[in-house]
């Protein structure tokens, strides 16, 4: 037996909203593709959440604290997208899911720097010593020499997820328009 929330249809999306969101995602994807720094404007928000993850998860020990930045950075949009999925709110779900996958680009940039350690680092804890999360993680896992390859996989997943999400909201909007036209036709026939 299906869960009750799975039986409900998604909220319809108006034609203007569909096109507006598709334009937004399209422009963002172009912006992200043209960026050479690896740090997009939205990554300022991601950085704050990332650093908060170190503070939050640091209570549970050193290793979970190191992983905590990325865990919270990915968990916040993932949980928000799950909430909006359960509520059947397509544009909010797509927005959160899109930026969940955008976080992969930011993480991949940080991962790819694990050996070189050239990126400027920040720390919520302050102090003179700032640890490079992915250098520590990859060294501990004994995969530091594969930092660029792992980052490439993560980056590819991020792009695939963003493109898939934008495509999904487009199809959802089209489906909403078809259903609205069918309902209007049924009402005319009556």
- pLDDT by residue (tens digit) across 57-109? 999 999 999 999 999 999 999 999 999 999 999 999 999 999 999 999 999 99
Residue 126: predicted pLDDT: 63
**pLDDT at residue 125, rounded to an integer:** 66
Angle value at C-alpha 100, between 91 and 20, nearest 5 degrees: 30
d(CA 182, CA 73): 42
Distances (CA, A) of 150 to 110, 118, 159: 11, 18, 14
The pTM of this model reads 0.89
Q: Mean pLDDT in the chain?
A: 91
Profile the chain (190 residues) by mean pLDDT over runs of 10 residues.
59 94 98 94 94 95 96 98 97 98 97 94 74 96 98 98 97 87 74
Q: DSSP character for 190? A: -
Site of tokens 């209570």: 59
């Amino acid at each position: 037996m299906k869960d009750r929330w799975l039986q409900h249809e998604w909220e319809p999306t108006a034609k203007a909203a569909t096109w507006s969101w598709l334009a937004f995602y399209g422009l963002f994807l172009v912006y992200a593709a043209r960026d050479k720094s690896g740090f997009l404007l939205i990554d300022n928000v991601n950085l704050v959440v990332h650093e908060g993850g170190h503070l939050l998860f640091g209570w549970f020990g050193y290793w979970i604290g190191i992983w905590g930045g990325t865990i919270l950075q990915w968990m916040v949009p993932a949980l928000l997208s799950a909430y909006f999925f359960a509520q059947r709110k397509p544009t909010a779900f797509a927005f959160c899911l899109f930026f969940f996958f955008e976080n992969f680009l930011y993480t991949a940039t940080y991962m790819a720097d694990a050996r070189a350690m050239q990126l400027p680092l920040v720390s919520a804890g302050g102090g003179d010593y700032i640890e490079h999360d992915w250098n520590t993680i990859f060294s501990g896992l004994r995969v530091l020499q594969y930092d660029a390859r792992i980052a490439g996989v993560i980056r590819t997943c991020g792009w695939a997820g963003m493109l898939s999400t934008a495509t999904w909201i487009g199809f959802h909007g089209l489906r909403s328009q078809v259903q609205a036209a069918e309902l209007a036709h049924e009402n005319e026939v009556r």
